[in-house]
Structures are given as structure tokens and as C-alpha cells.
């Protein structure tokens, strides 16, 4: 249970980073 919580946090951080990167790429493409 504890290990699952840590894995979930890592996934959430990775997803957040990917969303930021795609948002930045989208802004660059719109310009």
C-alpha cells in the first residue's frame, strides 16, 4: 500500500511535467 502511494506520486509528477512540456510546445507552435 505504501509503495503504491509513492508510485502514484511519481506518476503524478511525471504527468504534470509532460503536461507542462506539451503546453510549452503548443505555445511555440501557435507562434
Q: What percent of the chain has pLDDT over 70?
A: 90
Q: What is the pLDDT of residue 25?
A: 87
Measured CA to CA, the distance from residue 26 to residue 30 in angstroms comes to 6
Q: How many CB atoms lie within 10 A of CB 2?
A: 6
Who has greater pLDDT, 22 or 27?
22
pTM (whole model) above 0.85: no
Q: What is the pLDDT of residue 27?
A: 84
Measured CA to CA, the distance from residue 24 to residue 15 in angstroms comes to 14
Domain ranges in the chain are 1-30
Amino acid at each position: 500500500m505504501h509503495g503504491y502511494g509513492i508510485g502514484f506520486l511519481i506518476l503524478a509528477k511525471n504527468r504534470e511535467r509532460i503536461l507542462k512540456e506539451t503546453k510549452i510546445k503548443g505555445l511555440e507552435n501557435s507562434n
